[in-house]
């Protein structure tokens, strides 16, 4: 890397943050997909998986990986999907 010491340090920090954010985003997507699958399949674990997905959304928002409005939108969509499935199952 050429450039100033500050520029090199900033580039290293950016790279670290990018990898960390990617890890958080990937695990978030995994939880959300598993929750949606459980709800669609009507699994007994659907509620628990949805709560885990919501928890991971909250974690991503608190770390600044997701915007708070997107987090709220995701949580709302997960809960409405769960509620709709529970309503039709009854």
pTM exceeding the 0.75 threshold for the entire prediction: yes
On whether the CB atoms of residues 71 and 60 are closer than 8 A, the answer is yes
pLDDT of residue 76: 97
On whether the CB atoms of residues 54 and 71 are closer than 8 A, the answer is no
CATH topology of domain 5-89: Methane Monooxygenase Hydroxylase; Chain G, domain 1 (1.20.58)
- The maximal CA–CA distance of the chain, rounded, in angstroms, is 65
Domain ranges of the chain: 5-89
Return per-residue pLDDT of the chain as tens, 90 residues.
567 889 999 999 999 999 999 999 999 999 999 999 999 999 999 999 999 999 999 999 999 999 999 999 999 999 999 999 888 765
86 token code pair: 């529970």
pLDDT of residue 89: 65
């Amino acid at each position: 890397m050429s450039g100033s010491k500050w520029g090199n340090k900033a580039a290293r920090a950016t790279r670290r943050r990018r990898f960390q954010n990617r890890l958080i985003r990937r695990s978030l997507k995994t939880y959300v997909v598993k929750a949606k699958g459980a709800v669609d399949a009507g699994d007994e674990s659907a509620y628990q998986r949805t709560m885990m997905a919501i928890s991971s959304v909250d974690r991503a928002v608190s770390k600044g990986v997701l915007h708070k409005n997107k987090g709220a939108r995701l949580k709302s969509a997960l809960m409405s999907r769960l509620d709709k499935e529970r309503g039709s199952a009854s």
